[in-house]
């Protein structure tokens, strides 16, 4: 499979520049129109939706830069990635290293916790205290996972250097440098237009874009027949092809999300730039065997919460109640005997 993908792991400068300009300029124009418009009318907030969609696409470009796949040149990738990090509120260097760890450990039960959606096994959940179970249930609730969580992560968590950033100077400088640049941009807008456009315009755009981004990341790995393994049984290629979905979106949405729906190919080789993922998929039928999710099917993933080691699939919390019910019935029959 990696041999099939290898020829596509070649960035093309003209396509990269076209994508960057074709997304960046509309985003800046939409944001300027909305921020200025909000000084006169609340209806300018309608521009927030297309602006957020452009921001999602810019994050995907930053994502490619982090993998060194958007341009051939590392300095070009790093320059664009750092600049986009100010717009996406995401420290580029720190996120880059965290996301690389996600690729290296995807589907590995022994190495969870870096860049993943927190996932417990059924045994781990049943062995947890009531407080730990409550915290896990709250963390997996859609309102937290796709509402409070994205807002907290991008507006606050990325602003505060954690233990990982303090251990590496480059990570710390990335976090604080991004904060300083964001403060300069926001401060300039406040001094020019006032605080209202920032509160009513910029924050809703950021939260909406973050929610869409977390949703995409969620359905790319949190589907029923995904892949989780332990120890030596874990395999990188199997995790890429079986633990990453093919999110079958309409053509326009594929374009808007920078083709991240072809996620199994991306995990097979992160060096394939986003603008070559679609052609790679359509020109290589063996890659069609990945788990396909339509938009309708993807919403069913919301109920999934725990990895069942015995059934080898993600299951909802209600599966535990059903298991207990079957266990009680079996005990009753045994007692009668």
What number is the average pLDDT over the span 276-304?
94
The answer on pLDDT for 322 being more than 50 is: yes
pLDDT confidence tier of residue 169, bands split at 50, 70 and 90: confident
What number is the average pLDDT over the span 219-235?
93
* CA distances for 285 relative to 5, 245, 280, 295, angstroms: 12, 15, 9, 22
The answer on pLDDT for 328 being more than 60 is: no
The answer on pLDDT for 264 being more than 50 is: yes
Separation between Cα atoms, residue 115 and residue 95, nearest integer Å: 9
Phi, psi of 247 (to 5 degrees): -85, 100
What number is the average pLDDT over the span 318-323?
80
The answer on pLDDT for 306 being more than 90 is: yes
The residue among 140 and 326 whose pLDDT is bigger is 140
What length is written for the chain?
337
DSSP H helix total and E strand total for the chain: 19, 5
The answer on pLDDT for 207 being more than 50 is: yes
Q: What is the model's pTM?
A: 0.90
The answer on pLDDT for 267 being more than 90 is: yes
Provide CB contacts within 8 A for 65, sequence distance 6+: 71, 77, 78, 80, 81, 84, 92
Separation between Cα atoms, residue 28 and residue 39, nearest integer Å: 17
62-91 residue pLDDT tens: 999 999 999 999 999 999 999 999 999 999
Bridge partners, residue 109, by sequence: none
The answer on pLDDT for 334 being more than 70 is: no
106-141 residue pLDDT tens: 999 998 877 788 899 999 999 999 999 999 999 999
- Angle between helix 169-193 and 92-105 (nearest 10): 130
The residue among 270 and 159 whose pLDDT is bigger is 270
């Amino acid at each position: 499979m990696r041999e099939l993908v290898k020829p596509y792991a070649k960035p093309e400068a003209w396509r990269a520049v076209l994508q960057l300009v074709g997304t960046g300029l509309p985003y800046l124009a939409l944001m300027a129109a909305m921020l200025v418009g909000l000084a006169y009318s609340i209806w300018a907030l309608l521009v927030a939706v297309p602006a957020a969609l452009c921001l999602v696409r810019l994050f995907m470009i930053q994502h490619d830069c982090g993998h060194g796949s958007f341009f051939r040149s590392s300095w070009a990738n790093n320059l664009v990635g750092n600049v986009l990090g100010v717009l996406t509120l995401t420290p580029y260097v720190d996120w880059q290293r965290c996301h690389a760890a996600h690729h290296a450990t995807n589907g590995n039960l022994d190495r969870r916790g870096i860049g993943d959606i927190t996932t417990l096994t059924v045994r781990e959940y049943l062995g947890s205290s009531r407080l730990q179970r409550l915290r896990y249930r709250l963390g997996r609730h859609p309102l937290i996972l796709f509402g409070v969580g994205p807002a907290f992560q991008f507006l606050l968590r990325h602003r505060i250097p954690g233990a990982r950033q303090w251990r590496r100077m480059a990570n710390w400088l990335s976090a604080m440098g991004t904060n300083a640049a964001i403060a300069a941009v926001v401060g300039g807008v406040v001094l020019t237009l006032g605080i209202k456009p920032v509160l009513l315009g910029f924050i809703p755009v950021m939260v909406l874009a973050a929610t869409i981004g977390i949703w995409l990341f969620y359905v790319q790995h949190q589907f029923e027949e995904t892949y989780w393994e332990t120890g030596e049984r874990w395999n990188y290629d199997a995790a890429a092809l079986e633990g990453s979905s093919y999110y079958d979106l309409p053509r326009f949405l594929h374009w808007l999300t920078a083709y991240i729906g072809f996620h199994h190919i991306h995990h097979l080789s992160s060096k394939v730039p986003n603008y070559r993922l679609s052609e790679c998929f359509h020109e290589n039928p063996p890659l069609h065997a990945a788990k396909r999710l339509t938009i309708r099917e993807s919403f069913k993933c919301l109920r999934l919460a725990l990895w069942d080691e015995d059934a080898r699939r993600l299951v909802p919390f209600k599966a535990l109640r059903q298991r207990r019910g079957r266990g009680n019935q079996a005990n009753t029959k045994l007692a009668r005997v």
